[in-house]
Amino acid sequence: MKTEAKTNIITVEGKRKLEEELENRKVNLRTEIKKSIKEAREQGDLSENAEYDAAKEEQRQNESRIEEIEYILKNYEVYDPNEDADADKINLGCKVTVKDLEFNKDIVYTIVGATEVNLLKKMISIESPVGKALLGHKEGETVTVETPNGEIKLKVLSVTRE
């Protein structure tokens, strides 16, 4: 039974970053890892060679990430915010400033596809509880978000396109 590939929705910037990462991993990182493996082999006995084991593990991780990126780039759809009829509504690629009404704290999120998530940079997925709840809302609206830790209320302060 053949399963259908999931389409990854990504921003133009997200696609560019994935293509750059793929190129770097294929050209630069592969070369560095091969050099590390060669140097470790030259040290002799591979059965007790930690450098060799580490280089081979790095190679496995790099090849795995290359496969993952290639899969994403074979099954993607780029979201173009210029084609969005509701430009004032929150959608993929928007930078959204909200106020957490419980803690009276402003938070800035960038709404991205699932493959572009970076929580340290407050880049949240359209598939996350907050991302899903914000989609389609406008500046001035209050949004209720169902999270695993309970309900939170966010007031949308501003919406800008990236």
Q: How far apart are CA 108 and CA 123, in angstroms?
A: 9
Domain co-membership, 43 together with 95: no
Q: How far apart are CA 77 and CA 23, in angstroms?
A: 20
pLDDT value of residue 13: 82
Q: Is 81 exposed, middle or buried (0-12, 13-18, 19+ CB in 10 A)?
A: middle
Domain co-membership, 43 together with 69: yes
CATH number for the domain harbouring residue 90: 3.10.50.30
By the 8 A CB rule, do 109 and 159 touch? no
List, in sequence order, every residue forming a beta bridge with 77; answer none if it has no partner: 9
Full domain range(s) for residue 123: 84-161
Query: Going residue by residue through the chain (162 aa), what tens digit of pLDDT does each one get?
Result: 444 566 778 888 888 889 999 999 999 999 999 999 998 888 877 777 788 889 999 999 999 999 999 998 888 888 766 665 567 789 888 899 999 999 999 999 999 988 888 989 999 998 899 999 999 999 999 999 998 888 999 999 999 886
By the 8 A CB rule, do 78 and 96 touch? no
CATH number for the domain harbouring residue 66: 1.10.287.180
Domain co-membership, 75 together with 88: no
Residue with tokens 């770097």: 24
Q: How many domains does the chain have?
A: 2
